[in-house]
């Protein structure tokens, strides 16, 4: 049997958060249901953040209420604070994504918190989510660097150790700036995977410098089995200059299938969702594969 690689779809959150054109809630729900039908088993459906901060996510509750939940699919949401944890819990979310930035400078811009404060705050949020019985994914943003050179692999390892000590259910390393290269990915995973043991390690990669799929390849070969991807290659952080999209779901799945890995995801069905979003936004998306017709895909 070929090895299973798990895809976490983040296009509804990371992918849409910067879009100023409001996407109708009904269309978001349709996209989530179609991604579920495409075989994706982990979908980050929204973020519970202040609507003034991210207007696109103002309908978080309505999105959660509208989706057709399947028992074998995990629907997660990103939160930044206690209010977010409480809103997510009230909306029936069982899987919560919490994170801190390894970069003190980025954290101050993105969350108004320096690293020390963020570490303490993170521990409080984990405890709160746990009190609601939620599964917690602990993330480290800017794990492969920020424009201010304040992130080192040792710091990331220390933060990973702290997340694991708090009992997170999975550990996510985010290349928020898209600065990682395959050599860095290999080196980081060689340290983090033994540390994490049975706790799944997730890579969240941005394709800012065109190294997204090369990094996925390096990571699967190094033993990483879970990736955040966004349909159509959408995404990017508001507080990172020149930020570009996540690695595209359908392009990633297509490559993994070509290499003999299993994902359970149907490339063409995801591509159709990307075409739907391109239509809604009235412009092309960064992904490659969705632009091709089904006959021209290279899936095995």
Please report, as ranges, the residues that interact with Zn ion according to CB under 5 A: 14
Three-class SS of 61-90: HHHHHHCCCCCCCEEEEEECCHHHHHHHHH
Give the whole-angstrom CA distance, residue 196 versus residue 198: 6
**CB 109 → Zn ion: shortest distance, Å?**
15
Helical (H) or strand (E) element with 276? helix 267-281
Q: How far is CA 180 from CA 184, 195, 208, 214, 277, in A?
A: 6, 20, 10, 10, 28
Q: Is 224 a catalytic residue?
A: no
**CB 80 → Zn ion: shortest distance, Å?**
14
Terminal-to-terminal C-alpha distance of the chain: 15
**CB 199 → Zn ion: shortest distance, Å?**
21
Question: Phi and psi of 138, rounded to 5°?
Answer: -100, 120
CB under 8 Å to 206, separation ≥6 — which residues? 175, 176, 177, 178, 212, 235, 236, 243, 244, 245, 246, 247
**CB 76 → Zn ion: shortest distance, Å?**
14
Could you give the angle at the alpha carbon of 190 between the alpha carbons of 140 and 141, nearest 5°?
A: 10
**CB 243 → Zn ion: shortest distance, Å?**
8
Annotated catalytic residue: which of 64, 142, 224, 237?
A: 237
Smaller CB separation from Zn ion, 89 or 236: 236
Helices 82-90 and 115-131: crossing angle in degrees, nearest 10, is 30
**CB nearest Zn ion: which residue?**
14
Smaller CB separation from Zn ion, 14 or 104: 14
DSSP 48-63: E--TTT-GGGTTHHHH
Smaller CB separation from Zn ion, 104 or 228: 228
Smaller CB separation from Zn ion, 14 or 251: 14
Smaller CB separation from Zn ion, 107 or 257: 107
Could you give the angle at the alpha carbon of 51 between the alpha carbons of 76 and 276, nearest 5°?
A: 60
Smaller CB separation from Zn ion, 210 or 282: 210
Closest CA to 182 of 149, 242, 222: 222
**CB 248 → Zn ion: shortest distance, Å?**
13
> 257 and 263 in contact (C-beta within 8 Å)?
yes
The set of catalytic residues is 237
């Amino acid at each position: 049997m070929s090895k299973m690689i798990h895809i976490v779809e983040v296009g509804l959150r990371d992918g849409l958060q910067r879009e100023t054109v409001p996407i109708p809630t009904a269309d978001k729900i349709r996209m989530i249901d179609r991604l579920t039908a495409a075989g994706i088993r982990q979908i980050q459906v929204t973020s519970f953040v202040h609507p003034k901060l991210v207007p696109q996510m103002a309908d978080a509750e309505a999105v959660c209420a509208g989706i057709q939940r399947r028992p074998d699919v995990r629907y997660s949401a990103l939160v930044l604070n206690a209010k977010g944890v409480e809103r997510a819990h009230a909306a029936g979310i069982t899987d919560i994504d919490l994170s801190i930035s390894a970069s003190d400078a980025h954290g101050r811009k993105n969350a108004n918190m320096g690293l020390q404060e963020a570490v303490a705050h993170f521990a409080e949020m984990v405890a709160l989510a746990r009190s609601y019985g939620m599964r917690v994914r602990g993330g480290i943003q800017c794990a492969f660097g920020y424009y201010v050179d304040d992130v080192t692999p040792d710091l990331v390892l220390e933060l990973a150790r702290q997340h694991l000590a708090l009992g997170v259910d999975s550990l996510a390393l985010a290349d928020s700036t898209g600065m990682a290269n395959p050599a860095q990915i290999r080196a980081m995973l060689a340290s983090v995977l033994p540390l994490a043991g049975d706790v799944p390690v997730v890579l969240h990669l941005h394709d800012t410098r065109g190294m997204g799929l090369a990094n996925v390849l390096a990571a699967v070969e190094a033993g990483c089995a879970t990736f955040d991807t966004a349909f159509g290659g959408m995404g990017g952080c508001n507080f990172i200059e020149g930020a570009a999209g996540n690695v595209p779901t359908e392009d990633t799945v297509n490559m993994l299938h070509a290499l003999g890995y299993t994902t359970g995801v149907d490339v063409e069905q995801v591509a159709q969702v990307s075409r739907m979003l391109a239509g809604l936004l009235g412009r092309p998306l960064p992904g490659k594969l969705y632009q091709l017709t089904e006959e021209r895909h290279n899936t095995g």
